[in-house]
Structure 1
Amino acid sequence: MQSIPVDTSRLGVLRCAIAPEAKISNPETQEVKKDRDGNPVFTVAVTVRQDRRRISVIEIAVTGEPKGIEEGQIVKVTGLTAFMWAMGDRHGVSFRADAITPVHGSTPAHGKGGAA
């Protein structure tokens, strides 16, 4: 599997779309996927918006549960890598990061009170 480092500084604003969830490796048993060291793997759906244009959503896998991340909050993604994959007739790109952390001072997009 080919891995490609991603320069997150060129991705514009990264915002949490779906809060961290445990990645399930077996839907029948609900077994949580583990990394090589036996640590649980979580996924976070992140919106990527460049140059005020169209928004893309990517799911990023990360070892361990990212703390303090809420939907709508701006996040920092460290060590993002893209992986090309193929299984039979299916193919795509998956993403993995060393860490996903909240950007301090940012508030979720849906807000709590407050005017625009």
Structure 2
Amino acid sequence: MKLMINTDGVSFLCTRIAEQRTDRDTGAVRMDRETGLPLWQVQVAALDASGGEVLAVTVAGEPGNLTTGSPVAIERLVAIPWAQGDRSGVAYRAASIRAVNAPAGARPVKTGD
């Protein structure tokens, strides 16, 4: 079950540079089943009037030029409860994560090495 999170009144700050998600056993880059894009994880601090919380948010496709401490916009944030054996938790997923000053839908330009 995916639970939509209302982010009205919440500010987000990037607390760690985005990293590609990889399979723990093989080291292969994890891919989104729906889009075929590589999965990335961004650590953010979510701040509102009641305090703050650090979240690791997964997004399909490279999230852009994010820097530690910069404000970010998160679109369509969902919480996905999970349980595996005696472990359980909540995974966070977003449709997109971008720097606040970047236009919606902006993606970094890739150049050859």
TM-score normalised to structure 1 length: 0.81
Structure-1 separation of matches of 2:71 and 2:94: 16
> Considering only aligned residues, what root-mean-square deviation do their CA atoms show, in Å?
1.6
- 1:104 offset after TM fit, Å? 1.5
Give structure 1 stretches of 5+ with no counterpart: 106-116
Residue 16 of structure 1: SS of its match in structure 2? strand
Letter matched to residue 39 of structure 2: V
2:75 matched to which residue of 1? 78
Q: Alignment partner for residue 43 of structure 2, among 31, 42, 45?
A: 45
Larger C-alpha radius of gyration, 1 or 2? Answer: 1
- 1:99 offset after TM fit, Å? 0.3
- How many pairs align? 101
1:114 matched to which residue of 2? none
Give structure 2 stretches of 5+ with no counterpart: 103-113
TM-score normalised to structure 2 length: 0.83
Structure-1 separation of matches of 2:13 and 2:40: 16
Q: Alignment partner for residue 24 of structure 1, among 8, 22, 25?
A: 22
Residue 8 of structure 2: SS of its match in structure 1? helix
2:61 matched to which residue of 1? 64
Letter matched to residue 94 of structure 1: A
Moved over 3 A (4+): none
Structure-2 separation of matches of 1:9 and 1:20: 23
